[in-house]
Amino acid sequence: MAKILVTGGAGYIGSHAVLTLLERGYEVTVIDNLFRGYREVIDVLEKKYGQNKLSFFKSDLRNKEEVEDVFIREQIGGVMHFAGLCYVGESVENPGLYFENNILATLNLLETMVKYQTKYIVFSSTSEVYGNSQYLPVDELHQTMPVNPYGESKLMAEKLIGWYGQLKGMRSVVFRYFNVTGADKDGLVGDSKKPSQLLTQNAVRGALGIAEFSLTCPKVKTRDGTPIRDYVNVEDLVEAHIRALEYLKNGGENQTINLGTGVGYSVLEVVENVKKVTGVDFKVGRAEARKGEPTKKYADYKKAEKILGWKPKSSLEDSIKSLIKWYKNKPRGWGY
């Protein structure tokens, strides 16, 4: 396979994918408009692996000419498509932003892939496509009824990919992530969202005294009154993507697959785990509750195990430890 294009490769999950691909000997091309990504992470990876292994384009997927320019200049053999917006609350406040970014960008990418005969795509979707869980754990046969524009925009992008598979021969694996957490085990790359929307990250930052920590979840009917989620480690997640590329390369059929751990933790349970691992009993405040959040959700990942031989390796404690290492290395993240 020629170069792997990673869209959104300067962001949180995308940068971990770039790092792991480079570690495995792949040549990588990154597209990122740097709206919420950081050029600094690309600089760090270029320094470690060499510019001959990593190419970067500050391009916007919403601009088809910019996307085509990358495909003209680079020999792209497969795509990992991470680029997109992913804040539930923001999508409720500004739905148009999400439909434009997450749907138009995917359409332009697919059209360009067809034009330049790139057949393989691994897509970063979300468990938000399921909406409120009707049963647990949630498998891939669960109904898709998003309760926020973020989930709806990802579902619409999934459907685009499905149609291009039927009509244009596109080969795809669509991953529906549950909550992603953790960082590179060596502390080289990690999450730099400002502010972060991710619970474990914010709790670790609170424990380390980097920023005050406040709950932003609504009060719901669960065992302790806080939402329950499935927290999957980012390095485990990236491993699934690489297996998916190899699966497609070897003739695998189009698939939609959950990535999670099968275990649900409440918000307060995550906070208690962070306190336990760090040994810090940090203050927990209460801020305005986010809108559009389902009450309880965790994954059935049996399909990932069956199709890709993948299963989660990292515990929540492992993810917390990796975040501690990352934030001790870069307390304020990239850009400082």
| 95 assigned to some structural domain | yes
Is pLDDT at 315 greater than 80 in this prediction?
yes
Which pLDDT value is given to residue 1? 57
Say which DSSP state 217 is in: P
Query: Residue 320 carries which side chain, given as an amino acid letter?
Result: I
Phi-psi region of 288 (alpha: psi -120 to 50; beta: other; left: phi over 0): beta
Which range marks the domain in which residue 242 is found?
3-182+231-260+298-312
In a domain, 245, yes or no: yes
Structural domains of the chain, count: 1
Say yes or no to pLDDT of 65 above 70.
Answer: yes
Which pLDDT score is estimated for 290?
Answer: 77
Asked if residue 321 is part of any domain, the answer here is no
pLDDT, residue 197, reads 81
Question: How would residue 193 be classed by pLDDT, with cut points 50, 70 and 90?
Answer: confident
Marked catalytic residue, from 26, 150, 298, 301: 150
Average pLDDT over residues 92-108: 97
Range with the poorest average pLDDT among 15-19, 293-297, 305-309, 314-318: 293-297
Higher-pLDDT residue of 234 and 286 is 234
Give the distance between the most distant pair of CA atoms in the chain.
56
Tell me the pLDDT of the chain averaged across its residues. 95
DSSP 240-303: HHHHHHHHHHTTPPPEEEEES-S--EEHHHHHHHHHHHHT----EEE-PPPSS--SB--B--HH
Whether 330 is in a domain gets the answer no
Q: What pLDDT, in 10s, does the model give residues 202-249?
A: 999 999 999 999 998 888 999 999 999 999 999 999 999 999 999 999
pLDDT of residue 332: 86
| 150 part of the active site | yes
Element (H, E) at 172: strand 171-177
Asked whether residue 129 is assigned to any structural domain, the reply reads yes
Residue 326 lies in a domain: no
Asked if residue 35 belongs to a domain, the reply is yes
**Tokens standing for 292?**
């559009």
- The tens digit of pLDDT for each residue in 122-158 reads 999 999 999 999 999 999 999 999 999 999 999 999 9
Q: How far is CA 39 from the centre of its chain?
A: 18
Can you give the pLDDT at residue 289? 80
CATH at residue 160 = 3.40.50.720
